[in-house]
Amino acid sequence: MKKLLFLLTISLFVSCTDDRQEGDDYFAENDYERALEHYLEAYPYYKKDWLVNYNIARCYEELEKFEDGRQWYTKALKIDHRPVQAYIGRANCYWGEKDYESCILDLSTALSINPKSFEALYLRSKAYIKTFDYQSAYFDLTDALKVEPNNMKAQYHLAIVKGQVGMLRGALNTFNKVLRDDDDFGQAYYNRGIIKQRLERYEQAIADFNMALRNNVSTADVFLRRGACYYYSDQKKRACQDFEKAVEIDGSYESVIVKYCL
């Protein structure tokens, strides 16, 4: 009987070890759904294992099950509160839930442990943008770019922030840098067009809005802004055509036609 129990114990241990290994293998292949299935099978035997808890959290995060991910990151942090990646992971879940204040708090904790974490600085800057704290976003992006100077996503957000705080020429220079790196970046053309519109460079702004449209940025606001540039360039017919297109996409802009075209 004792021998049978011993053999059963070995069998269970081998089974849970196999589940963890298969979870690790699927995780390495970015197959998070299968990885999660095996990690959860193995979990009763690895409840105090930080990495298993963290990997389960990562799986939920990657599967965009943010509430579950957040809860599992919290479990991992109760085992060990020092790993920066767990705070960043939980912050990503808060981001996915649009809880930007909690996102900022976790990233601030991560940065107190590793002040040069590009990932934490960059994500916190985006959370600051979401909460309209452009000055804090500016400082985070500046610090992030000291770590990764050629990261064009960070450069792009820095250009946006510069525009928001009134550094229009600085924003223009940074957008130019981003578009030299990727000349198909439609959203960058759109935002650079806004800067040129604010600088009253209407023909240049129109050219940027044209490029935004060619690169599949075709929101009502693009037509509205291009129409405004046409209007202030004494091209009323083209302006009104753009205003009509904006209204087709978003009827709330109908008052613009009433004001400028009737």
Predicted confidence (pLDDT) per residue in 86-110, tens digit: 999 999 999 999 999 999 999 999 9
If you write DSSP's letter for every residue of 193-227 in order, what string do you get?
A: HHHHHHTT-HHHHHHHHHHHHHTT---HHHHHHHH
The predicted model scores a pTM of: 0.87
Predicted confidence (pLDDT) per residue in 191-242, tens digit: 999 999 999 999 999 999 999 999 999 999 999 999 999 999 999 999 999 9
d(CA 128, CA 226): 29
Q: Is pLDDT above 60 for 128?
A: yes
Q: What mean pLDDT comes out for the span 58-85?
A: 96
What domains are there in the chain, each with its CATH number?
159-217 (1.25.40.10), 219-262 (no CATH)
If you write DSSP's letter for every residue of 39-65 in order, what string do you get?
A: HHHHGGG-TT-HHHHHHHHHHHHHTT-
Residue-level pLDDT at 15: 53
Q: Are 118 and 145 in contact (CB under 8 A)?
A: no
